[in-house]
Amino acid sequence: MSDDLPIPETPEDTPTLLRLSDEDRARLGEAVQELLAHGSILGLDAGRSALYHWCRQYFDWVKEAAALVGLDVALMHEERMVQAIPRTSALQIRLRQDATLVWLALWYAGDVRWRDEGQTQAFLSVAELNGLIKDQLLPDAAGLLTIKRMKEILRQAARFHLIRFEPAEPFEESGIEVLPAIRRVVPFRDLAAWTETAASFQKIDGPTEEPVIIEEEES
């Protein structure tokens, strides 16, 4: 018999993911689904705390499974978050110009509170967000977004764990908390990089498609 024939695998030699228990397999599936649907897993959310801790304990499994669907993942201990980073353009978020504008303003609001003011949380109202868009992005943007459209954009941002959004009446008093995940979804190294992108909105007329690439923030 030839020595070149393959040696049959034993159960111990089979790939790690194939040997998971049913419970761990279910947890891993839940984690990948959460990353695909929302872009991150937030350990500070009561409903996702147990899943976050499981992902932290078995992070190698999460990385291996995420890679199968085209995702890299990063574990942020201080922020208690598992963040998805798409490897392919098919998984990147593409936004209309008005949504990109709002997400830029949300990034700025968070950066000011975290970096400049040293706060651990970043809160603002819809009225303050509108003011930020008008003052910092588009001085002539009054009336650019309807209430319905602003709600759609903010709910999308909440779905991707960029903000927490608490609607109120009147709508301008609705509360927003900007979450740290926005640093990687809208990845600027500093305010200068943000300013360069924001300036481009002065040159654009009419609706366009602007890509927002989910990628790991550069150090």
Domain assignments of the chain as residue spans, ordered by start: 11-88, 93-202
Give per-residue pLDDT as tens, 167-192: 999 999 999 999 988 887 776 666 66
Predicted confidence at residue 112, as pLDDT, reads: 87
Residue 79, pLDDT > 70, answer yes
What topology does CATH give the domain 11-88? Arc Repressor Mutant, subunit A (1.10.10)
Higher pLDDT, 140 or 72: 72
Return the CATH number of the domain spanning residue range 93-202: 1.10.10
Q: Do domains 11-88 and 93-202 have the same CATH topology?
A: yes
Q: What is the mean pLDDT of the chain?
A: 80
Length of the chain: 219
Comparing 14-18, 86-90, 179-183, the range with the smallest average pLDDT is 14-18
Task: Please report, for residues 31, 37, 55, the alpha-carbon distance to residue 41 in angstroms, rounded to integers and kept in the order given.
Answer: 8, 10, 9
Measured between alpha carbons, how far is 208 from 23 in angstroms, rounded to an integer?
45
Has this prediction a pTM greater than 0.85? no
